[in-house]
Amino acid sequence: MRRSSQLLGGSNLAPADVVRRAVALQGQDLPAVLRAIALRSRPGTTVQEVRDAFDRGELVRGWPMRGTLFATTPEHLATLLSFTAERIRRMTTRRRAELGLDEAVLARGRHTLREALGERPLRRSEAMELWESAGIDTSDGRGYHLLMHLCVEGLAHWGRFSAAEQLLTLTAAEGAAGPDAAADAELAAVVRGFVLARGPVTEADLAWWTKLPKTVVRRAAAGVEDLVQVEVGGTAAWIIGNPEIPGPSGVSLVPAFDEWILGYADRSLVAGPAMLAAIVPGGNGVFRPAVLDDGVAVGTWRLPRTSRAAPEPVIDLVERVSAAKRRAIEQAVADWPHG
């Protein structure tokens, strides 16, 4: 059911509609999220077509919930920040103080960036140079944190591409008002999208993903008319509607940092302890691409880093699979179309 919810078998949707349906997709690793969107889109969708959706402004990247980048739509980014921005600012207060980013520095950084982006989008390096010229030290993470803070305020987002790099772009409507009665329906729509694109999920999954209190997400969930409660392994969970339970799905591949792993607080349904350790070796926060067998992670994979001498893809299986399944995995990696 999760594989079906996650569209790992593809869909009839355009890239922007895939992301709109899911609300947001983990986007810390830019090449990985482009692939994640492409594989969930209609057959034949290329990574370039996903980039084109960013170039048209249909998709953006920002920090809608915490200090992690997500790919989302402009509308969802504004909605999410209306509920999360103040919480993110409070959560990062100490870090700003440690970095010396006081209100005067924030104001200077905000003013100089707004003026520059009013003329044209900027590369990340150009934004850092701009601040250095304004007397703002960007070393040791200061520049990154200042940038995240101003984007959480609603000043800017990552938009169209220039070669392999996304450009920092002025957001049309800065900031967003705090939650009110009219916004309840918007948050309910966020909840519905999260469940639709990942279900079955738990209340804890939703609260972890949004970084909102359980009381808030529970109230929003109550406003989703087609939300259905089910039981998974003795734990209450949510799905949308009453979908049929599909049969075995066979071998699937997901890119690094995929929502298949990162969309849940509890990942035990899709990966055992040894497998999770292999996906995130050493707990270093770098999530490797995963091989799935009927929706359960059984190994990691990667394409060769160089085309010289036609090196073979690397497949590291952690869980035991049959010889036939091993051949199917090798074929799936060989047929991977998204670079």
The pLDDT tens digits of the residues spanning 56-114 come to 999 999 999 988 999 999 999 999 999 999 999 999 999 999 999 999 999 999 999 99
**Model confidence pLDDT, tens digit, residues 230-245:** 998 899 999 999 878 8
pLDDT beyond 60 at 181: no
121-160 pLDDT per residue, tens? 999 999 999 999 999 999 999 999 999 999 999 999 999 9
CA–CA separation, 84 and 24 (whole Å): 14
Query: What interhelical angle do 47-55 and 30-40 show, nearest 10?
Result: 110
In this prediction, residue 292 carries a pLDDT of: 96
The values of phi and psi at residue 326, to 5°, are -60, -40
Where exactly are the structural domains of the chain?
A: 2-170, 251-334
Res. 311: pLDDT tops 70: no
pLDDT-derived band of residue 256, with 50, 70 and 90 as boundaries? very high
Of 247 and 136, which is predicted with more confidence? Answer: 136
- Closest among 36, 27, 28, 34 to 8, alpha carbons compared: 36
Q: Would you state the pLDDT for residue 177?
A: 44
Separation in Å, CA 294 to CA 3, 228, 253: 8, 24, 11
Helix 142-153 and helix 103-117, axial crossing angle in degrees, nearest 10: 70
What mean pLDDT comes out for the span 172-181?
54
Segment 123-127 long-range contacts (CB within 8 Å, at least 24 positions apart)? 123/162, 123/165, 123/167, 123/168, 124/165, 124/168, 127/168
Q: How far is CA 115 from CA 17, 110, 121, 145, in A?
A: 32, 9, 11, 19
Q: How does the average pLDDT of the chain come out, rounded?
A: 93
- Determine the pLDDT at residue 315: 95
SS3 75: helix
- Angle at alpha carbon of residue 285, lines to 277 and 40, rounded to 5°: 85
Residue 64 CA, chain-centre distance (Å), reads: 10
